[in-house]
Chain A
């Protein structure tokens, strides 16, 4: 195996295909075979948060800790992800690839209709607008450092769900109900977007059962 530590985007692009791309090393890295090469983005200059007006641009290797420091409305969501030690390492770009029921930031980015910046196959950053309203709730087995049973993120128009499908999903039928001001209807309609799975945290049955409750709570900001 080899560990590549490129120091520019051009250097990263030249190395593509010669190993697995890693950044914070909290997700894929510990599960790689010892023979597999990695390309670390740690020194590729992709980290940082820039705010211009209401638009926020976040470099792919910005850590969750850095993002929480700079973008206050996402603090609650970020605090629900893993532990402070892992948040010091895990990156925004990496979270996009975290398999469900992890990847709660990706759920938020979906609700924000964030744009992914790419250079070829390399994610270099994401950008989004700071919403006027923001709703977030995550049901988990413990108060902290646990994967999602159900995650709900919404800007009051779009609704994104985590924990209830193999990927973060938009709940389009629920959004239509919400546009009519029907929160109870939106909560029930969210089930149309769900295709939950069983895992060590919860059964598919349970996720289905509690999804409307958490959508309703998120949208009424009861949590």
Chain B
């Protein structure tokens, strides 16, 4: 079956690559583009650790066949990291001990980035809703919620 040429913008840089049919955005990011922040947890959209933004909206990248978003603008955790130091959310996760094993962290931060972009002053309830699709199996939810709230104004 024919592969396709995919052109997407990833973290501001235009990328062109060949993808086999059915390649997910997650595996294109990790295996083709070498961006390994987004993780494969469940592969069925239940755990949220693959969360990225496509055209400004948080999505589960394990559920996106990359052919279907040709031409789109993709942002991953790498794209939120400044050239020097950490982003405000990354720093807050560090300061609030919101990272234990770290596997859920990229997804948590991308879900939180999407929330703060729409709602810079979220309530606790807003934060809980925003990360309701993200599972932390260390169950460190409280410190994650605190870290996100600390960045909100």
Where the two chains meet, the residues of A that have a C-beta atom closer than 8 Å to any C-beta of B are 1-3, 5, 24-26, 29-31, 34, 37-38, 40, 42-43, 65, 79, 82-86, 88-89, 144-145
Contact = CB atoms under 8 A, between A and B. Distances in A.
Contact of B129 (A2, A25, A42, A144): A144
Interface of B: 1-2, 4, 21-22, 43-45, 48, 51, 57-60, 62-65, 67-70, 111, 114-115, 128-130, 132-134
Given A43-B68, A82-B133, A83-B48, A88 B59 contact: yes
B126 to A, nearest CB: 10
B11 to A, nearest CB: 19
Contact of B65 (A25, A79, A83, A145): A25
A37 B68 CA distance: 13
Q: Is the interface of B mostly helix, strand, loop or mixed?
A: mixed
Contact of A38 (B22, B44, B62, B129): B22
Nearest to B57: A88
B120 to A, nearest CB: 16
Contacts of A79: 129
Contacts of A2: 1-2, 21
B63 A25 contact: yes
A85 B111 CA distance: 8
A83 to B, nearest CB: 3
A86 B111 CA distance: 11
Nearest to A24: B63
Contacts of B21: 1-3, 37
